[in-house]
Amino acid sequence: MKYIQWIATRKLANIRISQLDDDCCIIKENYFSSSSSSLITHKFIQVYIISLSADITQPSVCFTKIKQTANTNVTGINQIYFRRKSIHATILFQQLDLFKHNHNSPPQTDSSHITSKISKARAIIQYLQNYFTTISFTKWKIINSEDLVHSRLIDCEKSLTSFLTLLGLNTSDTVLKNVLTYDSHRFIDDAIWWDQSEVGERILNRSTPIPPYKFTYSNDFYHLHGTRSFEQYSADSRQCYRDGTFAQIPSETVSNRKSTDSPNRCLTNSFDCRFSDIYSFDDREQLYEESNRNDYFSIKPIKCGFAIPSIFDKVRERFARNHTCETIILTSIINCYDNLPGTEGDIPFSTCYVALLDTKTFNALSSGIYQAAPHWTLIDLGNINSLFSFPAKTIETLKTCGQRMFPLAKWIIWLDGKSYLMRITDLLFRAKSSVFAPRHTTIDRTSAIEVNYTIERIRERENGSRSNFDKFVMDIKRQEKEYIRDGFYSRADKLNLTLYDIALFVYRNNHPCNFRYLCGWHNEVNYFAYRGQLSVYYSTIRLNLIQHLHFLPRNFYHTFSHLKICP
């Protein structure tokens, strides 16, 4: 269903999904309409979901209806039987999805419960396969979901293109080609680990792999579930995907939007609003709106920056197809505020260092006494002072957007210039969660307490610009007021959440819940005060993902004072 969700989200076709009961009568139907002007949107896709406990014995009602439907020969329309090779995984994933759908009630994934369903399901699946391959006067194509999974982007694109062609879509259409280029990484094996048949079978057989004896990128998701069981973590990931993980792209962004907020923050923050397409409080709230439980999935693109073309696309375009940078060490420095961060000890193979700089800092690090080490790739973003309302907002924004710029990376490690990280290979080898950062140096610092500390730090930094200081305080007070009204501070305190030090932030890419969390954090930074420290926990609490976040052990890092490298 993940491919149908993608097609519906990007509005590539009109889709109707009909779910059938054991007698093959429609018990639920959803229609997803396309409103795009592209020619491909004239295509219609009908999806039938057959119950794996259906009565297909002759001459049952279901047997008759399947025969009638299968024998319908419509000229120019391909008929596809889409299935999973592994019956065990099919049943197991159904149970995991029910677990999330039923408000986290305990999933029935023990082998005895599953075994009772497997024999019936096997009979139905085998019957359908045999039937669809023996119909003489109409042609059915059988597709196994496992056959669409590849580790290389180019192979994934070929499979997706063939699949869309079978569905009748025009893969030479410019809109569709752009969508394929933008989204195909979402279907490589590393990105859909949560839906791979082998994973389902291992959960069912209680045979998840033991941790390896040395660091590897392969199948590390088995060991990154934190305090949750891997079974629960997999269910979370499946639900996060259904809730939406396709970021809004420029072609979906409506131009000339106006803010409905009062006061209108977009009058002075024009680029801020356009970059994330967040013009109002309602826009910011979209991520947290629960999907209708009668729907199979959400089809709303996620607001997550990059909604319009900008200088930041320069980074994505450079790394979008790069399979060699499996670990990205990322930093951003403006106005020469810091030197490049340091690392020490073993570094994972396939590691790339990327520094996003304004021109002034780029020139300082390209020559002179602070010349960058050769392993750093320096990218000149130009004069970024003309973009976000606060120049420092660039850094806080890019901190939350690594997943957008480096879609094929496995791990993304953000380092502020004052950070120093040690023994990275050992750190990732020992990782037990997919998101972690250092504990704040003041160990009892909380989100509520941080507000006044942040205002005082900004007072010192903006002592030459009263207008900038007043504007920031207005943003932070607006944020504080909403967080009090929303109950965020009280919930964070009940969870005993002491702050991260986000000068250093590490996360596993291509985990669906991490994507939603980071997009939510990005939207808070964009809509409210740009200091990410104030909102680092907000979206993870709203999305009920706080158990996915852990602290970084103290023996792996240092932080120092800022060191300005040019006048």
pLDDT single digits (tens) 39-63: 455 688 889 898 888 888 878 888 8
* Across 36-50, 218-232, 343-357, least confident range: 36-50
Domain presence at residue 133: yes
> What is the domain count for the chain?
2
- Say if residues 398 and 384 touch (Cβ distance below 8 Å): no
Tokens of 394: 């660039």
Q: Please check whether residue 299 lies inside any domain of the structure.
A: no
CATH number of domain containing 415: 3.90.550
Residue 567 in any domain: the answer is no
Q: What's residue 53's pLDDT? A: 86
pLDDT of 298 higher than 70: yes
Task: pLDDT band for 464, please (50, 70, 90 cuts).
Answer: low
Once rounded to an integer, what is the mean pLDDT over residues 55-81?
A: 79
Q: What is the mean pLDDT of residues 385-407?
A: 90
Give the domain extent around 543: 310-559
Task: Identify whether 301 is part of a domain.
Answer: no
What pLDDT, on the 0 to 100 scale, is given for residue 154? 96
At 36, the pLDDT band (50, 70, 90 cuts) reads: low
Q: Is residue 166 part of a domain?
A: no
Average pLDDT, the chain: 89
DSSP summary character for residue 302: B
HEC letters along 423-443: CHHHHHHHCCECEEECECCCC
**Which pLDDT does position 465 carry in this prediction?**
74
Residue 481 lies in a domain: yes
> What's the pLDDT score for residue 73?
65
More confident residue, 293 or 285: 285
Average pLDDT over residues 358-382: 87
pLDDT score of 68: 81
Distance (Å, rounded) from C-alpha 115 to C-alpha 122? Answer: 11
Please give the average per-residue pLDDT across 30-47, as a whole number. 73
pLDDT tens, residue by residue, 334-349: 988 889 999 999 999 9
**pLDDT at res. 138:** 65
For 156-170, what is the mean pLDDT? Answer: 92
Residue partners of 369: CB distance under 8 A and separation at least 6: none
* Average pLDDT, integer, range 468-489: 93
Contact assessment for residue 276 and residue 388, using Cβ atoms and an 8 Å cutoff: no
Q: Is residue 503 situated within a structural domain?
A: yes
How open is the CA angle 278-279-284, to the nearest 5 degrees? 45
559/341 Cα distance (integer angstroms): 9
